Amino acid sequence: MEGGETVELNERKLQILKAIINDYFETAEPVGSRTLSRHYDLGISPATIRNEMSDLEELGFIMQPHTSSGRIPSDKGYRFYVDMMLQLQKAEFTKLVYLEELKKSTSRIEDMLKTIGEYLAKETHYTSIVSSPSYKKSKIKNIQLVEVEKHAILAVIVTDGNAIKDYMIHLEHEVNQELLNHLALKLNGHLMGLTLEDIGLDIIHTIKEQVQDGEEVISKVIDVVFRTIREVDDSDIHTYGTMNILQYPEFNDISKASMLLQTLETKDVLKDIINTTIESDDGHVKIVIGEENQLDGLKDCSLITTSYHIGGKKVGAIGIIGPKRMDYDRTVQNLRCLIKNVDDLLNKL
């Protein structure tokens, strides 16, 4: 927000800009001076409103989408409004009705984040985006081996941060639970607290020497250990309520809707959004509006994101994608409240 713009927007212009944004949010229709005069107690005549709207248009805060139509906020207008809203917004946290459900829903981080994404999409009526934790150099916390059949076992791998992965492993040789308990004890003894880089051939060779009867199991379990760490280190991205955003009239245009859907289905694009959020996070909610988005598919959208923490480290992000005609005040409050509680909940798991 440039300093000159603050001076130019006196109280009257500011009231009119806010009224246009509020009315356009409610109706999705261009706003005219008569509408503002009828619906808002601005204390000035329609003629004066028209003059002020002309000034706002000249300054770039509103625009006329069609000849002889009313005005709609421009990206610059939204940006000014959002920056002003963030400065004035009280540092109080709205009570979210689903927080109690979250607290008792699960002890697995992945399940909790899935629940968060689903609730966010439902509550905001926009599209939510959630990344699973990316720990970077995750460490093995625990390995459990469970006999399913004589030639099949379930390997459960837990990393720091309580990320849990399980795999069904089929074997050529028979096993029993007593042997599996012995093998799990050896694996945990040698691998607990190690990262992928720490697990060298010498460690693997030492384990195999100590458990000659279970060499096949050891080899296959170590394979899934490596797979687990790679998967946990490489954050996964999920979207919820994708169709919500298509219900807004801004996306009645088939080409716009198609481009947006393609963007939301491209994992690399979503990872860029998440990584940018994590890297640039300064403890506040980040808002990117319209043309500020680098991606063509999101230039008709606004993106509100923030990161979450485990053990004091930024490990993932949660965000909302909606039309530029978004309820910024409510959505930002919702996300602020959510992330405060999510950090607390995740660090108690």
125-152 confidence digits (pLDDT tens): 999 999 887 766 778 999 999 999 989 9
With the C-alpha atoms ordered 15, 18, 19, 20, is the resulting torsion angle positive or negative? positive
Angle at 326 between CA 321 and CA 331, to 5 degrees: 70
On whether residue 94 sits in a domain, the answer given is no
- Domain identity same for 157 and 224: yes
Give the whole-angstrom CA distance, residue 304 versus residue 281.
12
Q: What is the mean pLDDT of residues 151-165?
A: 88
DSSP for residue 250: G
Strands ordered across the beta sheet of 152-159: 140-149, 152-159, 163-170
255-301 pLDDT, tens digit per residue, is 889 989 988 888 778 888 887 777 776 667 889 999 998 888 889 99
On whether residue 111 sits in a domain, the answer given is yes
- Domain identity same for 119 and 150: no
CB 242 within 8 A of CB 207: no
**Three-state secondary-structure class, residue 58:** helix
On whether residue 227 sits in a domain, the answer given is yes
- The structure tokens listed for 41 are 């107690």
On whether residue 272 sits in a domain, the answer given is yes
Q: Is the pLDDT of residue 6 over 50?
A: no
CATH of the domain at 281: 3.30.450.40
Give the whole-angstrom CA distance, residue 117 versus residue 301.
18
- Domain identity same for 155 and 11: no
Q: Is the pLDDT of residue 7 over 60?
A: no
Q: Is the pLDDT of residue 329 over 70?
A: yes
- The structure tokens listed for 206 are 């030492």
- The structure tokens listed for 207 are 């384990």
Domain boundary (211, 233, 255) is at 233
- Domain identity same for 108 and 249: yes
Amino acid sitting at position 136? K
DSSP for residue 71: B
- Domain identity same for 277 and 146: no
- Domain identity same for 54 and 177: no
- Domain identity same for 118 and 244: yes
- Domain identity same for 43 and 112: no
- Domain identity same for 263 and 124: yes
- Domain identity same for 208 and 274: no
- Residue ranges making up the domain that contains 24: 3-88
Provide the domain count of the chain.
3
- The confidence band for 5, taking pLDDT boundaries of 50, 70 and 90, is very low
On whether residue 93 sits in a domain, the answer given is no
User: What is the reported pLDDT for 98?
Assistant: 64
- Domain identity same for 174 and 310: no
Q: How far apart are the first and last CA of the chain?
A: 41
User: What is the reported pLDDT for 183?
Assistant: 94
Domain boundary (233, 255, 286) is at 233
67-82 pLDDT, tens digit per residue, is 767 899 999 999 999 9
Domain boundary (233, 264, 292) is at 233
22-42 pLDDT, tens digit per residue, is 999 999 999 999 889 888 888
Residue whose pair of structure tokens reads 């994404």 in the numeric block = 117
Query: What is the reported pTM?
Result: 0.69
- The confidence band for 3, taking pLDDT boundaries of 50, 70 and 90, is very low
